[in-house]
Amino acid sequence: MNHLLARHPDYEQVVQSMTADTLVVYACSDKAKTVFGWLEWLVDGEMLLNFSENALARKYTRLKPLSKATLKKYLQALAVLVEGEITKRTRSIYALIFDHFVAVFVCYDKEGLAMKHLLAFAPLLDDTNQNSPNHKNFIRRST
């Protein structure tokens, strides 16, 4: 505190003027920033989990190293949170939509607007069989 008072007498005004978005940078631990950074890179970049253990990836990133096992743990925890949010938003009303490439969407109404989120996108396990049990098996394995 002595340093702040001596060198930065306006620190209280500076802190109060910060928006909630900028406070996240200061409020998050280094570990949280590292985990988020790797997860964001892996998910948005469509990388494999072991990418975080790749020597070149580690060489050219400022993120601290994380193991595949650690990332998997946090990815599973994130999936639980996302599933909970989807459940909360969809309540008991939902629809499944199959498009040409067999995608599973969850659809719901939010304040009069139709909302749609992609849950799974993959080929059928047996693409030579287009019957309903094959589609049912696809849904069970992918959601």
Over residues 14-26, mean pLDDT: 59
Q: Which of 5-14, 48-57, 62-71 has the lowest mean pLDDT?
A: 5-14
Contact call for residues 38 and 63 (beta carbons, < 8 A): yes
Between 59 and 128, where is the model more confident? 59
- Predicted confidence at residue 73, as pLDDT, reads 93
Alpha-carbon distance of 19 to 12, in angstroms, equals 14
Selection from 65, 37, 30, 60 nearest residue 50 by Cα:
65
Give the 3-state secondary structure percentages of the chain, helix then strand then coil, rounded to 5.
Answer: 55, 10, 30
Provide, rounded to the nearest whole percent, the portion of the chain with pLDDT above 70.
75
- Predicted confidence at residue 138, as pLDDT, reads 75
From residue 42, give the alpha-carbon distance in Å to each of 37, 57, 106, 119, 133: 9, 11, 23, 17, 33
CA atoms within 13 A on the CB side of 14: 6
Alpha-carbon distance of 31 to 37, in angstroms, equals 10
- Predicted confidence at residue 23, as pLDDT, reads 53
Provide, rounded to the nearest whole percent, the portion of the chain with pLDDT above 90.
25
Q: Which of 17-26, 66-75, 111-120 has the highest mean pLDDT?
A: 66-75
